[in-house]
Amino acid sequence: MRSAVPAVKAKAMRAQGDAGRAAQLMAVLHEEINRQKRYPYIAKRRGLDGVATIAFRLGPDGEIAHIQVLESSGYGVLDKAAGAAVARASPLARASTYLESPRDFQVKVVFARN
């Protein structure tokens, strides 16, 4: 009779691997979105800071679709810039490394004057 323990252990190891890959993908997403972020001149001039939560779907081909603002920064100009940064991150070149099918994501895009 075979023990179920190795199967359970293998499943747990896969879950840890999936969690690690998910964390890596989130890091890649944040890096690319931040690279594409443009702080609107008018927002800088007015001293506007904020965080917008953006939802979108990422496919294994790297295409980003269904971009929407889930939580506003409180300023339309920053919300629009956050959505635009996510859109410019498409296509995400390394997505196929992490995804086999489309997946929904949420990211916080931070605009803060330094």
For residue 53, give the CATH number of its domain. 3.30.1150.10
Between 76-88 and 5-36, two packed helices, what is the crossing angle to 10 degrees?
Answer: 120
CA nearest neighbour of 55 among 23, 78, 87: 87
CA 107, 17, 58, 84 dihedral sign is positive
* pLDDT value of position 17: 55
Number of domains forming the structure of the chain? 1
pLDDT for residue 8 is more than 50: no
Mean of pLDDT over the chain: 87
The first and second tokens of residue 43, run together, are: 């927002």
Cβ contact 59:98 at 8 Å: no
Distance CA 32, CA 26 (A): 10
* pLDDT value of position 14: 45
**Residue 61: Cβ within 10 Å count:** 12
Its pTM stands at 0.82
Give the domain range for residue 94: 5-111
* pLDDT value of position 11: 45
